[in-house]
Every structure is written in structure tokens, then in C-alpha cells.
Structure 1
Amino acid sequence: MNFHILFCSSRHVTIELDEDAIYETASYEIWVNGRLKGVFHRMIQTIDGLLPDTDYEIMLVRANEASETVTFHTEPEPITLNVRDFGAFGDGAHDDTSAIQAAILCCPKNARVLISKGTYLVTALFLKSDMILELQENAVLAGIYDRARTPILPGQIEYDNEDGYYNLGSWEGNPIDSFASMITGIHVKNVTICGKGVLDGRADFENWWSRPKDKIRAWRPRMIFLNHCENITVVGVTVQNSPAWNLHPYFSNQIRFLDMEVKGPANSHNTDGCDPESCTNVEIAGVHFSVGDDCIAIKSGKIYMGKKFKVPSKHIHIRQSWMQDGHGAVTVGSEIAAGVDDIHISKCRFSNTDRGLRVKTRRGRGKDSVLKGIVFEDLELEGVKAPFVVNSFYFCDPDGRTEYVGTKEALPVDERTPKIESIEFRNIVCHNAHYCGAYIYGLPEQKIERLAFDNVSITYAKEAQTGVAAMMMGCEPASRLGLVIGNVKNLILHNVSIDGQDGERLCLSGVENVEEEQD
């Protein structure tokens, strides 16, 4: 068995096994400097309790077969600041926000702020550059619900020279006032958030999830919000019960989420797992999502932000993760006005999500909303109601049900017309689908240029549920549909197996060229 070092900090190392298993594998032991650290089964695993600036040897053992030994050296760490020394109680009763914030502000370069065992009540904490924030095992940062005590990030603050504005707050793709998040980073870089502790927003239907569509002083906070940040790694921690989106990197670069748990009740409002928005080089690996909305939703702003800044989300790579119970396992949109490029999802497990891939776009997103380089491969789907959904008529927002958005007639292509260039599905097994195998519709005036299925197998649940695959006008409740595909220039079907559908295997409309082949 082979493995490599995925990430190393001053006191942690994260490994990734080099084998074909998805998310979990046969149990194995991890030995560090000749000492057994435990028995594990995930493909990506973090070991803590290391010392800074120290040489280590690590080896894996499975069934008496040992891997090669890999050496690594932990990062230096000049000092640890324990938040208890700054007056934090950690008793679940006192507000520890100011004490923890003081420790962060006093942290020298590359040093560690330690959240030791205990429950610390906080509103919002603000990161600084070049630091480590570690949540020890059994340490909990617990959210305080009090809008009057939670800072607000203004959406737009005009510069004195009237040349533009400073954008802090964001809500669903628009620069508007929002509450600061439990962990907030504004223009910071070189930060690690790590440990076995928990970020618990403590949201419920009596506080943040009550009246979720209303702005009350400001829009709901996230759990981790990274605004114009660079080189941020979050590893090992659990994030749960968020007031809104859990992880929200925004106009940021070089962001990594590794070996995490992100969870919330299935009926919680807008609790997306991770929403990279206008970001570059985002890695999500070894993360288990179980949330009340999309597990991952890749965005690049609503119409205003996309048109003004033209910053797409690109080079986003997701692997060895488990998406469970959300509306979409991996979603592109709907706030996608600046487009996406190079979205690669591989070796993931989707379980009981409403959809597998979920593309949400529509007329009005604009000519900069170009979706290309979207690749899904080596996936296992179980109980996903509609595995592949591409919806170019997404009807949310006030204008969503207008004739302009909803008509299936071809309209003139202009500056408001979005575009989908390429989507590929390779080596995917879908068991127990419900509504359909695929429900994919491009615009009649701007068809999807290339849609490819290669080695894809779909079977249906014996007692398949009936439901609506796509949030678009004209999509009726259905069960066991085959591949419903409309408005595509080039459709490629290579070794596509569909078993158990009701009616036609393929239901095509407005498809110009079809290449179908079975080996």
C-alpha cells in the first residue's frame, strides 16, 4: 500500500492513500516514529499530537503488510498562546469572544492560538495573517445568538475618492450587509485552522433558521467566511449547525478543506456545505458533508458582481469526499454570472442527495457566465433521486418565473445569455435512482456545446419515489425516467447502461449530433 503526505503543519500531518477505493478503505494502522497512532479506514486521515520543527517517519500497516516509510519535517512554531491565559472561561456560560480575539491579535508570526478543551461561547472571531488556530479535541466554539451583539460586515463602503467601494458583506452573490461569521478572514493569508474540535453555530428554528428569507438588521452569518484571502487550510475540524452556508471562501485563492465533517439537519435553511465564490485553486478532499441544502455549490456572483468584477471560479478540485442528504451533491450556480472553469470531481460518494451534479443557470446571468471544463469521474452514487441535472431555466429569485426566463422558444443571443461549453461524466455507477437518470436542458438559442457520458451505469430503486428533477417551469413530477436531454450540440454516449427505467431509454429534443457506442 502506498500513500503520500497531503498536508503538514507544526503539529499535524494529513496523509492520502494511493489506491482506487473511494472515501473509505480496508482498515490500516498508522505508525509514527515506531509508535502506533491508531487504526483507521478513511482514504484521507490526519494525525495530531506532533511536535514542531521535528523529523518524523510514518508507515502504514495492513494485514501485516507494511508500506514504505515516508519522512517529513513539521513546521516551526515559535510559541503557543492558550486562550485561557487571556481570560477565556470555556465553561459554556461566559462570552469568551473578546478573550479569544485578544489572543489572535497578540499572536506573533507563525505561532499558534490554542482553544483548549471546553465550550467557548462566541459571536464572531477575526483572523490575522500568518497564524495557526487549533481547536483541541473536546474543544467547542459555540455560537451566541444575539443579533445586537454580532458585528455586521457592510456590503459596500464607498471610497473617499468615490472610485468604487470596499466590499465586506455578501449574501447569495450580492454585496449586501451580512453578519460576521464565527470565523471571519478579511484579506488575510497563510492561516491554518486545525484540530479535532468543533465549530457549532447552534442555529435552530427558534433563532437563525426562523424567518430565513428575511433580512433582520443584516443577513445570516456563515461559520467560516474567507473574503479575499490566500493560502488558507482548514483541516480536521467539525463544523455544524450553521446559521447559513457553512464554508464560504469569497474572491480567495489557494484554499484547502481537508479531512473534515460538515453537518446540519436535513431541513435546515440554506445550510450549504461549502460554497467557493469567485475563487481560484480550491481543494476539497476527505470531507463528509450532510447538510440541509447543497453539499457543495460553486458560484461566481449574481448578475451585478459577475458583470463588474468578471472573476470566475476556476481550478476547483474535489475528491475522496462523501456528500450525503443534501439537495445537490455538487452544484454549479445559481449565482454564476462570471462563469466557472476547470471543475474536477473524482473519487467521491454521493448518498441520498436529491441530485448528483446540479447545474443552475438561466437567461440573464450574462455573457460572462460561461461554464466549461466540468468533469465528474470515478464516482459512486447511491439513492440519488436525479443523478445528473443541468437546468438552464432555474426559476428562483423574483424574475425566475417570467416569460423571458421560462420560455422554451429560442430567443436572440445577447449580453444577457449564459453559455455551457462542456460537461463530462466518466466511470460512474448510480444505484437506486428515483426520478430520472438525467434531466439536462440547455437553452434553445445557446445549446450545450458538448455533453459526454463515458462508462456510466444507472439502475433504479424498486420502489422509486416520484418528484421534480429540476426547478424549471414545465418539469413535471416523474419517476424512473431515462435520460431526458434537450438542446445539446454534441451528445456522446459511450458504454452507457440504463436498467429499470419506465418508458424510453433516451428522450432527446433539440440535440444536433449523437455519438453512441457500446464496447
Structure 2
Amino acid sequence: MGIYDITKYGAKGDKVTDNTEAIATAITACSENGGGTVYIPDGTYQTGPIVLKSNITLYIEAGALVLFRSDFEAYQPVETRWSGYECYGFSPLIYGNGLKNVSIKGQGCFDGQGAAWWQIYHRIKQGEEYTSGVTKEIAKLNQGKFKPINTNLIEWDTQFLRPPLLQLINCEQVTLEGITFQNSPFWNTHLVYCDHVSVRGVTFKNPSNTPNGDGFDIDSCQDVRVSDCHFDVGDDCLCLKSGINEDGRRVGKPTENVTVTNCTMFHGHGGVVMGSENSGGIKNVTVSNCVFIGTDRGIRIKTNRARGAYIKNIFVNNIYMEDVFCPLAINSFYRYGVDESDPLMSSPEAIPVTEKTPHIKQIEISNVTAKNCRTAAGFIYGLPEKPVEDVSLRHVTFEMTDDLNEAGGEPDMVKEEITMAGEGIYCKHVNGIEFHRVRVETRQGPALFMDQATHVEIDHLAMKKLHPNTPVVKLGKVEDVVISGRQAIQLKETYLSSEESTSEVVIVGESL
């Protein structure tokens, strides 16, 4: 196994030379000799797409910067999964399909120079037409494939399907280590149908205004380990997906067996997000020892009546959050990406359960502290026909902002617009939930509001700062509730407001 220095194949780190051919030649030579390391020394290298091969480590030295050219015609169509759909799209800037033993390592940086791509996106969003030789070819290749209807996929009609900076598909034994990926045209790093993945010490960066600028998307992958990474992006930081609607259910590959630990998330729409493209299923996920600063949501699970499948066996432990919009959002009624012409998608009434019905269950949140949160301490919203099931919050502290000028917003996007500001935990359509040693400090309102719920256990849920004429817990139509804890016993009837409960609420030692 040798080392193949790209400068030995004609590459120049002078910021202006097009090194596409030199890098490709080095990769081919490495592959033809049984594999090894393709080495990028310090310098600034312009290039077009990089296509990886099996048994190769692409190593980028400290001080090396790879800049991807903004010549769209250089990124000819390849097979991809784009926003959950199997189709053709622009070639990812770094791409590999069907590989084994592929690694990208080092202390250098890959820069997607995404601004030119974002500019076209914004023009399309404003209603302008866009076409090119590549988009025409993509449209031709995608003829006859499933076409999403009435979704928020801005580019689909033009087929300007922007590429991720890095995408690996159908790969085994994948390692990403130490490098920085930044300024991606679309999602930053996207792994699809990959097994046995290790991602360690990677930095994912996109400006805050990057459209669809996710950091790292794990899509229908198995046995994935993410550790010691840093995220600062314009959309979701780390997102788990598994295809969308009929196409995702047709493929039927879940994302499963994922561990995320020792990561920092700084800005982004969500810290760790599951969905909304979950139609192949998401299960067996642990998130631990992470810090979220300034993300809109912290832990976010989102799906809707078009997705089907499941999100289950999710374990979150030992997390610190600060200045987040909403630290915990679990939403089965996510209003984006559905056929708006179908009234059942937004019906507040229960509808028949079908293959389109998603199921969120077995979610455990423990040892989480969130400070200076802006909308709601938590937001859990299921479907009337399939409630969120078996949720546990243990040893959790949520402290809301005291800023009276905080306007708040939507903790998550459900069928109707629910705006909150400095408020507590909101739960609706939940079957089986427990709160143990949970403290919520609100700017206004109770620590917990719950409606349309069953099998509820509240043990030592408390507020230090009580508000006049405001209970700690407010219940709507809730059945089978047991409450215990020092504050519940001390405050008695002022602890709980239960206007519409359909069954007796028991406080241990007393009844109401």
C-alpha cells in the first residue's frame, strides 16, 4: 500500500490550476495498485468532482484547502438519493458508489464554494425559470421515476437538484476523520445505504443562510458511530433519515444502530434531528455527552401522515443546551412535505391507520439541562389515530428565558400554528409518558400542559418560581394519571388544574 501524492501527478496548489484530472489520475493509480493513500499536501487546489474508489484513503494535510469549481456542467448526472427520492442529480462534489474500505482523513478542508448554487436556488424560489445542459439530462434520466407532488421541493420542476459536498452510496467500512467540510451546495455530507461507518473529529460548516444546508445526513445506514465532531450550519446539524413516502417505503431500508457522542452543535435548525424523511424507519439511536448552543431545536423528531414506518428506541442522555428555541420537539403532525390537496393530511380527527401512518415510540430523555430557551420547554404532539407512545423524561431541567420582549414562535410545525413564548412542556396525543425529577422554569404558564393523553406518571415535576394563579400542571382530557412528589403534596390543589380530565387523578396519599 503506497502513498500517491497528487502533486506527483500534476496537481498544483496555486489556487488557479484545475486539478480535476490530476486528482483522478492519482486515485486511479492508487486503486490499480491495490489501494493505499492519495495524499493532498498543503496548498490551495481548485478541482471539479472527485470520484473515490475502494481501498483508498484520501488524506488532506493540515494547511491544504480543496476548492470545488462552480462550473455546474462539470458535475454530470449520477444516481443519487435526493431529499429522500431515488433519482439522478448533479454529481456530488466528492462521490463514491458501491465501495469498500473508503476513508477521508487529515486536518485540511474541503470547500464546496456553494454560493453560486445557492444563487440559482433563490432565483428558482422567486419563480424564475432555469435550465442547462445538465438539468436537461437529469430530467431525461428521471423520466418515469416517482415524481413528488405538492411538496416543498423548490427545485424539482427545474431538475436543478443541487449536490451535497460529500455523498457515499452503498459503501461499507467508511471512515471520516479530522477533516473540515464547508460551504456545500446542498446538504454538506450525505451517507446513503452505508454500513459500518465511523465519523470522528470532523467539522461541518455552512453559513446560517445556506438553503438546505444540513451538516451530516445519515440516510438508510446501519452501524454508524459519530464522535467528537463540531457542527455550525444553516439547517439541521446531524440528521437521521430513511427515504420519503412511497419511494422510501419501496426501498425499505432503515437507519439503525447509530451512536452520537461528544459532539458540539453551534447554530442550526436542529441539534440532532430524526426525520421527516423516515419512511424506511429509524431505530436504535443513542445520543450522549453533547452540547447544543443556539440551535433552533435541540433533539427533534418529526414525521407526518404521508411518511409511514417508525421512529423508535431513541435514547438521549447527558446533554447541555443553551439559547435554543425548543430543547425537545417530537412531532407526528409535521405539516411540510404532504399533499396539501388531501384533506386527511391535516384533519384534526383520527383517520384510518394505513401504511402511511407513522409511529413514534420508546423515547427516553435523561440528564438534560437546557437554559434560556425561547418558545416551549418541550413539545410532544402525536396523531389522534396513532399517539406518540412510551416517552420518558428523567432528571431533566428546562429553564425558559425571562426576557419579556421574547416573541417566541412555533416550537414545531404541526397542522395548526401553535405559538409559544417562554412556556412549559406541551403534550397532545400521547399514550404512556412519565416525568421523573423534571424541573421546568417558565416565563409564563404552567410547567406542563397535557391534552388527549393516557397512562401518565408525574413524579417530582416541579417549578421553583411559581406564577400567581398558575398551576404547575394543567390537564385537559387526560386519563389514568398518577402524581407524586414533594411539591405536589405541599401545594395540593394549587399544583394541578384538571378541567376536562375524564378519569380520577391521583396524587399519592390524596385524590383529586
Q: TM-score, normalised by structure 2?
A: 0.81
SS of the aligned residue for 2:217 comes to: coil
Matched with 2:382 is 442
Residue 187 (1) aligns with residue 187 (2):
no
Say which of 419, 425, 439 aligns to 1:483. Answer: 425
Say which of 152, 160, 163 aligns to 2:77. Answer: 152
SS of the aligned residue for 1:295 comes to: strand
Please report how far the alpha carbon of residue 260 of structure 1 lies from its aligned counterpart in structure 2 after TM superposition. 1.4
Please report how far the alpha carbon of residue 447 of structure 1 lies from its aligned counterpart in structure 2 after TM superposition. 1.1
Matched with 1:197 is 108
Question: Are the aligned partners of 1:152 and 1:218 in contact in 2 as well (CA < 8 Å)?
Answer: no
Question: Are the aligned partners of 1:356 and 1:384 in contact in 2 as well (CA < 8 Å)?
Answer: yes
Please report how far the alpha carbon of residue 513 of structure 1 lies from its aligned counterpart in structure 2 after TM superposition. 1.1
Runs (4 or more) in structure 1 with deviation over 6 Å come to none
Residue 223 (1) aligns with residue 165 (2):
yes
Which sections of structure 2, spanning at least 5 residues, go unmatched? 126-153, 461-484, 486-512
Residue 404 (1) aligns with residue 315 (2):
no
Alpha-carbon distance between aligned partners in 2 of 1:326 and 1:238, rounded to the nearest angstrom: 17
Matched with 1:214 is 155
Please report how far the alpha carbon of residue 106 of structure 1 lies from its aligned counterpart in structure 2 after TM superposition. 0.8
Alpha-carbon distance between aligned partners in 1 of 2:340 and 2:17, rounded to the nearest angstrom: 46
Matched with 2:245 is 303
Matched with 1:457 is 397
Residue 114 (1) aligns with residue 39 (2):
yes
Question: Which amino acid in 2 is paired with 1:137?
Answer: A
Residue 498 (1) aligns with residue 440 (2):
yes
Question: Which amino acid in 2 is paired with 1:106?
Answer: A
Alignment of 1:236-247 (within 5 A): 236-247=178-189
Alignment of 1:235-314 (within 5 A): 235-314=177-256
Say which of 258, 282, 303 aligns to 1:340. Answer: 282
Please report how far the alpha carbon of residue 262 of structure 1 lies from its aligned counterpart in structure 2 after TM superposition. 0.7
Question: Are the aligned partners of 1:209 and 1:268 in contact in 2 as well (CA < 8 Å)?
Answer: no
User: CA 1:135 to 1:470, structure 2 compared with 1: closer, same or farther past 3 Å?
Assistant: same
Alpha-carbon distance between aligned partners in 2 of 1:306 and 1:272, rounded to the nearest angstrom: 20
Please report how far the alpha carbon of residue 401 of structure 1 lies from its aligned counterpart in structure 2 after TM superposition. 7.4
- Greater Cα offset, 372-381 or 114-123: 114-123
What whole-Å deviation, never above 9, does each CA across 1:372-398 have from its counterpart, x for those lacking one? 101111000101111111111111125
Identity %: 31
Residue 384 (1) aligns with residue 324 (2):
yes
Alpha-carbon distance between aligned partners in 2 of 1:337 and 1:404, rounded to the nearest angstrom: 18
User: CA 1:438 to 1:505, structure 2 compared with 1: closer, same or farther past 3 Å?
Assistant: same
Question: Are the aligned partners of 1:227 and 1:251 in contact in 2 as well (CA < 8 Å)?
Answer: yes
Question: Are the aligned partners of 1:222 and 1:242 in contact in 2 as well (CA < 8 Å)?
Answer: yes
Question: Which amino acid in 2 is paired with 1:169?
Answer: T
Please report how far the alpha carbon of residue 148 of structure 1 lies from its aligned counterpart in structure 2 after TM superposition. 1.3
Alpha-carbon distance between aligned partners in 2 of 1:412 and 1:359, rounded to the nearest angstrom: 22
Matched with 2:480 is none
Please report how far the alpha carbon of residue 433 of structure 1 lies from its aligned counterpart in structure 2 after TM superposition. 0.6
Question: Which amino acid in 2 is paired with 1:435?
Answer: T
Question: Which amino acid in 1 is paired with 2:54?
Answer: S
SS of the aligned residue for 1:176 comes to: strand
Please report how far the alpha carbon of residue 296 of structure 1 lies from its aligned counterpart in structure 2 after TM superposition. 1.0
Alpha-carbon distance between aligned partners in 2 of 1:490 and 1:301, rounded to the nearest angstrom: 28
Alpha-carbon distance between aligned partners in 2 of 1:219 and 1:514, rounded to the nearest angstrom: 46
Alignment of 1:37-76 (within 5 A): none
What whole-Å deviation, never above 9, does each CA across 1:137-180 have from its counterpart, x for those lacking one? 11111011111121211xxxxxxxxxxxxxx2221000122111
SS of the aligned residue for 2:236 comes to: coil
Alpha-carbon distance between aligned partners in 2 of 1:258 and 1:208, rounded to the nearest angstrom: 33
Say which of 335, 360, 371 aligns to 2:302. Answer: 360
Alignment of 1:157-176 (within 5 A): 168-176=79-87
- Greater Cα offset, 336-345 or 107-116: 107-116
User: CA 1:402 to 1:390, structure 2 compared with 1: closer, same or farther past 3 Å?
Assistant: farther
Please report how far the alpha carbon of residue 477 of structure 1 lies from its aligned counterpart in structure 2 after TM superposition. 2.2
What whole-Å deviation, never above 9, does each CA across 1:269-323 have from its counterpart, x for those lacking one? 0010111110001111011101000001100001233221211100011010011
Alpha-carbon distance between aligned partners in 2 of 1:381 and 1:315, rounded to the nearest angstrom: 24
SS of the aligned residue for 2:394 comes to: strand
Which sections of structure 1, spanning at least 5 residues, go unmatched? 1-77, 154-167
Alpha-carbon distance between aligned partners in 2 of 1:330 and 1:323, rounded to the nearest angstrom: 9
Please report how far the alpha carbon of residue 462 of structure 1 lies from its aligned counterpart in structure 2 after TM superposition. 2.1
Matched with 2:22 is 99
Please report how far the alpha carbon of residue 134 of structure 1 lies from its aligned counterpart in structure 2 after TM superposition. 0.5
Question: Are the aligned partners of 1:469 and 1:475 in contact in 2 as well (CA < 8 Å)?
Answer: no
What whole-Å deviation, never above 9, does each CA across 1:431-459 have from its counterpart, x for those lacking one? 11110001110111111120110000011
Question: Are the aligned partners of 1:169 and 1:177 in contact in 2 as well (CA < 8 Å)?
Answer: yes
SS of the aligned residue for 2:246 comes to: helix
SS of the aligned residue for 1:194 comes to: strand
Alpha-carbon distance between aligned partners in 2 of 1:209 and 1:200, rounded to the nearest angstrom: 19
Alpha-carbon distance between aligned partners in 2 of 1:401 and 1:376, rounded to the nearest angstrom: 37
Alpha-carbon distance between aligned partners in 2 of 1:420 and 1:229, rounded to the nearest angstrom: 28
Residue 373 (1) aligns with residue 313 (2):
yes
Question: Are the aligned partners of 1:189 and 1:231 in contact in 2 as well (CA < 8 Å)?
Answer: yes
- Greater Cα offset, 282-291 or 300-309: 300-309
- Greater Cα offset, 114-123 or 396-405: 396-405
Alpha-carbon distance between aligned partners in 2 of 1:390 and 1:403, rounded to the nearest angstrom: 23
Alpha-carbon distance between aligned partners in 2 of 1:384 and 1:291, rounded to the nearest angstrom: 14
Please report how far the alpha carbon of residue 111 of structure 1 lies from its aligned counterpart in structure 2 after TM superposition. 1.3
User: CA 1:265 to 1:394, structure 2 compared with 1: closer, same or farther past 3 Å?
Assistant: same
User: CA 1:371 to 1:455, structure 2 compared with 1: closer, same or farther past 3 Å?
Assistant: same
SS of the aligned residue for 1:84 comes to: helix
Aligned residues: 426
Please report how far the alpha carbon of residue 400 of structure 1 lies from its aligned counterpart in structure 2 after TM superposition. 4.8
What whole-Å deviation, never above 9, does each CA across 1:451-491 have from its counterpart, x for those lacking one? 11000001112224411111123232220121100111101
Question: Are the aligned partners of 1:174 and 1:304 in contact in 2 as well (CA < 8 Å)?
Answer: no
Question: Which amino acid in 2 is paired with 1:263?
Answer: K
What whole-Å deviation, never above 9, does each CA across 1:42-77 have from its counterpart, x for those lacking one? xxxxxxxxxxxxxxxxxxxxxxxxxxxxxxxxxxxx
Question: Are the aligned partners of 1:284 and 1:319 in contact in 2 as well (CA < 8 Å)?
Answer: yes
Matched with 2:12 is 89
